Amino acid sequence: MYFEFKQFKVYHDRSAMKVGTDGCLVGAWSPLPKSGRLLDIGTGCGLIALMAAQREPALEVTGIDIHEGSVLQARENAKNSPFSQRVNIIQADIRTFDAEPFDAIVCNPPFFEEELLPPDAARCAARHTSGLPFADLIRHAARLLLHGGLFSVIIPTSAFDTFHSLCLDNGLTPYARLDVQTTPKKAPKRILLSYQKSIMVQEVVLPHTGGVREGLLPNVREGFLTLQNGSSRTEAYAELMRDFYL
């Protein structure tokens, strides 16, 4: 079982985190430094790590995950990619992981909080906040970021207030936001967010978005993206994924 992109393939049959739209959005949208070091928390099959490595050829990428099957498969995906020399996959828990600070951190975090959890333990750990609460994720992301470094995620719209407050409490300043709606008539259910450690940015231009709006976060340029128009991808979504989707 694999998903083929323009420059690499991602096998995900043994991974707790499969290839999905959320991960692709994080990988394509997250603001990245031109060089330096990036950490992908909960890398799963290595999707976001590989997308980041493709986007910035001088970036050194580390992916971590607690699930052994995911780590082994992510290592295979990285080894078979054009970026094998710059992507390192480690089995680790972010709560005990120690390393030199990173220039950027990305994550497609667990956020489903239904009372009925899926029966598969690995899938549960990958997708539910019971495995990694937002408070733990944000605290350790802030710990592992360089001053001025960027922390980018995707979360449900309903979780924004809680997530935003926790970021502020940990010294992370809003940098960019992209609201994502499936179709023009549906309210956004996902938000892509980027926070910067300790620095307030006055204006940010978001990459390849479907529109721009102001006012939800002070001093932050905000956008919105619609994924589908009928049965086809919107032009904005197609442009965002242009370098990845076949």
Domain ranges of the chain: 2-175
User: Cα(64)–Cα(123) distance, rounded to whole angstroms?
Assistant: 16
User: Which range, 89-93, 175-179, 209-213, has the best average confidence (pLDDT)?
Assistant: 89-93
- The reported pLDDT for the residue numbered 28 is 96
Question: Does residue 19 sit in helix, strand or coil?
Answer: coil
Tokens (6 digits) for 98: 């120690």
Mean pLDDT rounded to a whole number for the chain:
87
- The reported pLDDT for the residue numbered 118 is 46
Q: Evaluate if residue 206 carries a pLDDT over 90.
A: no
pTM attached to this predicted model: 0.86
| Cα angle 49, 109, 70; round to 5 | 55
Mean pLDDT for 102-123 is 65
> Whats the size of the chain, residue-wise?
246
Q: Evaluate if residue 205 carries a pLDDT over 70.
A: no
- The reported pLDDT for the residue numbered 245 is 97
How far lies 46's CA from each of 85, 100, 109, 117, 183, in Å? 14, 21, 14, 24, 28
Strand ranges inside 94-171, DSSP E: 102-107, 145-156
- The reported pLDDT for the residue numbered 113 is 39
Query: Tokens 């998903």 belong to which residue?
Result: 3
Confidence of residue 124 (pLDDT cuts 50, 70, 90): very low
Least-confidence region, from 62-76, 118-132, 136-150, 162-176 = 118-132
User: Cα(114)–Cα(188) distance, rounded to whole angstroms?
Assistant: 19
Mean pLDDT for 169-181 is 94
Q: What is the largest CA-CA distance in the chain?
A: 46
pLDDT digits (tens, 9 = 90+) for 181-196: 999 999 999 999 999 9
Task: Work out the number of other CB atoms within 10 angstroms of the CB of residue 162.
Answer: 12
Tokens (6 digits) for 61: 């990428």
Mean pLDDT for 210-237 is 74
Q: Evaluate if residue 176 carries a pLDDT over 80.
A: yes
**C-beta of residue 211 within 8 angstroms of C-beta of residue 221:** no
Confidence of residue 219 (pLDDT cuts 50, 70, 90): low
User: Cα(151)–Cα(181) distance, rounded to whole angstroms?
Assistant: 22
- The reported pLDDT for the residue numbered 120 is 52
Q: Evaluate if residue 52 carries a pLDDT over 90.
A: yes
- The reported pLDDT for the residue numbered 166 is 96
**C-beta of residue 56 within 8 angstroms of C-beta of residue 29:** no
**C-beta of residue 192 within 8 angstroms of C-beta of residue 26:** yes
User: 2-175: which CATH number, 2.60.120.200, 3.10.20.740, 3.40.50.150, 3.20.20.370?
Assistant: 3.40.50.150
Q: Evaluate if residue 16 carries a pLDDT over 80.
A: yes
Strand ranges inside the chain, DSSP E: 2-4, 9-11, 35-41, 58-65, 87-91, 102-107, 145-156, 172-181, 190-197, 212-213, 222-226, 228-229, 232-233
Q: Evaluate if residue 162 carries a pLDDT over 90.
A: yes
Bigger pLDDT: 206 or 73? 73
